Chains A and B, each alone.
Chain A
Amino acid sequence: MTETYLNDTVINANGTLCSRSVSYPIEASAIRKWAMAAYWPEPAPEKFMNAEYAPEDFDAFAWGPASYESLLDGDDGSVIVRHGINERALGFPDWKFRAGLNGGMNCTYGVRMNVGDVITDVKSVGEYTERQGRMGLMLITQSISTWTNQNGELVKRTINSGIRY
């Protein structure tokens, strides 16, 4: 049984920049489809069908970035990363988990996303903690995602909390 997931390497990684991704330009059709799914089966608001701007929760990277750059030494891009955090390149233990869940999200918004915007996402390591749950010892991880647009304006800063056990 795992007694702890946390060691000094994991704890001290808090704040480490991991990756920089750049989106494809946001398309009107992507905004439209996103809104249709989020409001289905009722119609989405006209402002989204007309793509006047994107919903705050729209993911400009949902179907992959136009470019991706790891900011970690030793990251050759061969590992599938979790929320942009390459734990192997960070030197974390080679954990084995039965399941992973979305624990929560915390987001602060800046300017809106519009058609044609190109978003840059810089991901960094947040706090790693653990606690006992009904499924055993759970590792709770934070990844921080900071989005800016082509003008360098903050679009949003999101802290994603993942739970693995």
Chain B
Amino acid sequence: MTVKVGDELPTFTRETGFANWNRYAAVNDEFVPIHMDDAAGEAAGNGGAFGMGNLQWAYLHNMLRNWVGEGGEILSIEVQFRSPNVKGQTVTAKGVVTAVDGDVISLDVWTEQQEGTKLAPGSAKVKMGK
């Protein structure tokens, strides 16, 4: 596959809420009140319970992993958690190529909710597989 600046990655989308978060808490031992309880989430200033940043992190990895293919590698990734992932949102992980240097591809990556608000913007470097 020939990669060029501006290429958009196939997205990774999930509807989010307690069904996702509870499953993730069960594997990551992330039973934190702000992710489990609306009152705790509201007290933290987010109007109710909200999802784990780590799960958005996972969605971004899922997107990148799918794109680089077998033998490809995620070299690095960084994100900031800017806006909470609240119940009922549809979260989509997206990416766009910003630079190509040999077999190392630089990307802007982010998660966004259904109205296009970015939840977790960041960047990544990957190496494409065969």
Contact = CB atoms under 8 A, between A and B. Distances in A.
A59 B28 contact: yes
Contacts of B79: 104-105
Interface residues of A, number: 31
Interface of B: 14, 19-20, 23-24, 26-30, 34, 43-45, 52-55, 57-59, 61-62, 65, 73-81, 120, 122
Taking each of A34, A45, A55, A57, which has the highest tally of chain B beta carbons within 10 Å of its own beta carbon? Answer: A57
A34 B28 CA distance: 8
Given A38-B62, A40-B20, A57-B61, A102 B54 contact: yes
Contacts, number: 87
B78 A37 contact: no
**Interface of A (DSSP majority class):** mixed
Contacts of B58: 38, 55, 57
Contacts of A101: 34, 44, 53, 81
A57 B65 CA distance: 11
Contacts of B43: 98-99
A43 to B, nearest CB: 12
Interface in A20-56: 30, 33-34, 36-41, 45, 55-56
12 contacts: A30-B27, A36-B27, A38-B61, A55-B58, A56-B65, A56-B74, A62-B30, A99-B45, A103-B80, A104-B79, A104-B81, A107-B77
